[in-house]
Amino acid sequence: MRKIFGVDKNVFFLGVVSFFNDISGQMVVAAFPAFFQSVLKSGAAALGIIEGVAEGLANIVKVFSGSLSDKIEHRKGFAIAGYIISTITRPLYLFAAIPAHVFGIRVFDRIGKGIREAPRDALISLSVPREELGRSFGFHRSMDAFGSILGPLAAFFILRAFPGDFNTLFMLAFVAGVVAVLCFIFVREVVGVVKEPQKLKVLQKYPKKFNLFLLTMTILSIGNIPIAVLTLRTQEVGLDLSFIPLFYAFYSISFTLFAPFAGRMADKLGDKRLIFWGYALMCFGYLFIIYDHTLFALALGFLLLGLSSAFTDGTQRSYIGRLTSPEIRGGAYGLFNAAIGIGTMIAGALGGLLWQYYSSTIALSVSILIVLGGLVIFYLNRGSGDVSPA
């Protein structure tokens, strides 16, 4: 049986892997703001810097894992190794007592993500024909997002039932990660697609459209404040710490509901339009979080941010699949993730520092301006085939 639920068997089981891995990872990340405030006695600046730097380093690692997987044409092994590294970090949080401990653990976790993600994305793209790229990445991201819903919800119920019991949470996250790794039994390697791998190491040897896309994505990523930092807004409206993971779940629910729709629309209408409007929706989400202190507006803001990610996350990856040839696909995903990583490092540090030392309003307003600037560049590059928002 080559297809399951309308997608390639490989894509399906890679989705299952991501489902369990995201239950594991998001249980931890959704609880971070509460863990930082109640256990580590720290705030937005430390959280933003840790999340930004860790995610950024992970994305830079993807450059090397993607290019190396292209060279040896064995992407499954890289993916498995990356998931194992991330999984073994979960119990280490039991021993974290200061932000520096979490920084080290989180960096190790994200290095695992850096090793696995570009080869995994290449494995997905090489498993299906070009006309199914949007649907395949949309399915994968939706499975990933289902895990992102269950992870925060599990964290919410654990912290409500057992206030401050982070040890149980971290160990259950470890179990879910082990299940994710075991699911690789059903994933096959894709070989023979690349007839003559090329040694492409510099940006200039990639298509011009791809290079311009990287530049735009770097700028837009600088305006994308980590969700873990954004959930601190719940404290400004007087909610208990245990409710923080719930708003993380709102974001993930919205992402999950719209990711498959975004994948289909990308195949029909074009990736570039969805990317443009996805980042525009991010600005609207920030505005709701800034200008209305009601719980409804806050929840709506996180729902819009989830919709924004649904429009951009998988679509950006499918767009790269259309821009690049198979022999440079892994490397292209690596460079894309490096660009996102640079932006994420800046976004986490800048957003967290502005949030803690000035205000959440200042942090979000600056991010809106950065995203709008990125969208202007994205729009102006439409003549080169990089964007067509209308």
How does pLDDT run along the chain (390 residues), one tens digit per residue? 577 877 888 899 999 999 999 999 999 999 988 899 888 988 889 999 998 888 888 777 767 776 777 777 778 888 999 999 999 999 999 999 999 999 999 999 989 988 888 788 888 888 888 778 878 887 887 788 789 889 999 999 998 888 888 999 999 999 999 999 999 999 888 765 554 444 444 454 777 788 888 999 999 999 999 998 998 888 887 888 888 899 989 998 898 888 778 877 777 777 888 999 999 999 999 999 988 677 888 999 999 999 999 899 888 888 887 777 777 776 787 788 788 888 989 999 999 999 999 999 999 999 999 999 999 988 887 644 444 443
- 241: DSSP letter: G
Q: Domain for residue 390, yes or no?
A: no
User: What is the residue whose two structure tokens read 């298509």?
Assistant: 207
φ/ψ (deg, to 5) at 66: -65, -45
Q: Which of 33, 27, 29 is closest to 355 using CA atoms?
A: 33
As given in the structure block, the two tokens for residue 290 are 């800034």
Distance separating alpha carbons of residues 102 and 67, to the nearest angstrom: 29
Residues 272-285, buried b or exposed e (16+ Cβ, 10 A)?
Answer: bbbbbbbbebbbbb
First vs last C-alpha separation in the chain: 40
Distance separating alpha carbons of residues 342 and 148, to the nearest angstrom: 24
Q: What is the CATH number of the domain that holds 316?
A: 1.20.1250.20
Give kind and range of the element (H or E) at residue 390.
Answer: none
Q: Domain for residue 197, yes or no?
A: no
Q: Domain for residue 192, yes or no?
A: no
As for how many domains the chain has, the answer is 1
Query: β-pairing, 7-8 with 3-4?
Result: antiparallel
Q: Identify whether the C-beta of residue 31 lies closer than 8 Å to the C-beta of residue 245.
A: yes
Distance separating alpha carbons of residues 195 and 110, to the nearest angstrom: 32
User: What is the residue whose two structure tokens read 């649904």?
Assistant: 310
Q: Which of 99, 107, 92, 104 is closest to 167 using CA atoms?
A: 92
Q: Give the pLDDT score at 382.
A: 61
Q: Give the pLDDT score at 384.
A: 43
Q: Domain for residue 303, yes or no?
A: yes
Distance separating alpha carbons of residues 65 and 78, to the nearest angstrom: 7
Q: Domain for residue 196, yes or no?
A: no
Q: Which of 351, 312, 331 is closest to 53 using CA atoms?
A: 351
Q: Give the pLDDT score at 271.
A: 84
Q: Where are the alpha helices (DSSP H) in the chain?
A: 9-38, 44-72, 76-87, 99-127, 133-161, 166-182, 208-222, 227-230, 233-236, 244-269, 271-291, 295-323, 329-357, 360-380
Distance separating alpha carbons of residues 335 and 123, to the nearest angstrom: 16
Q: Identify whether the C-beta of residue 305 lies closer than 8 Å to the C-beta of residue 230.
A: yes
Q: Identify whether the C-beta of residue 36 lies closer than 8 Å to the C-beta of residue 100.
A: no
Q: Domain for residue 198, yes or no?
A: no
Q: Domain for residue 302, yes or no?
A: yes
What does 196-210 look like in DSSP terms, one character per residue?
S-----SGGGS-HHH
Distance separating alpha carbons of residues 318 and 213, to the nearest angstrom: 13
Residue 330: domain span: 3-187+203-384
Q: What distance lies between CA 390 and its chain's CA centroid? A: 26
Q: Domain for residue 270, yes or no?
A: yes
